[in-house]
Amino acid sequence: MEATLIFSQILFNFVVSMAIIVVGALSSLMIYHLVCITKELKVITHNLHNFTDETRENISDIVERLRELPILSFFLKRRRVDVSKVKKGQRKN
């Protein structure tokens, strides 16, 4: 009877130890992949930021070219804004 209890305790301790080792290994693997994903996201956002800057410049270049056309220049005019009046809530038309 005592031998059975001792064997069950040893088996329980062995199974719990193996479970802790497996959970630790899986956790470290998950953390490693999360770090890789965050590094990739950082690269992607940096590339996206550069792409948006280039796109913004291209769009402003297109708008400038469209302003040169006589028909569209009337619609694409920029109104000059007086900074002192904008702060007060008034806008010059």
- Asked whether residue 55 is domain-assigned, the answer is yes
Percent of the chain with pLDDT over 70: 75
Q: How many domains does the chain have?
A: 1
- The Cα-based distances of 86 to 39, 76, 81, 92, 93 in angstroms read 43, 21, 7, 8, 11
- Asked whether residue 21 is domain-assigned, the answer is yes
What pLDDT sits at residue 55? 86
- Asked whether residue 46 is domain-assigned, the answer is yes
Supply the DSSP string of 52-88, one letter for each residue.
Answer: HHHHHHHHHHHHHHHHTSHHHHTTTPPPP--HHHHHT
- Asked whether residue 30 is domain-assigned, the answer is yes
Range of the domain at 35: 2-77
- Asked whether residue 88 is domain-assigned, the answer is no
pLDDT in tens, 39-76: 999 998 888 888 888 888 888 888 888 777 777 666 66
- Asked whether residue 82 is domain-assigned, the answer is no
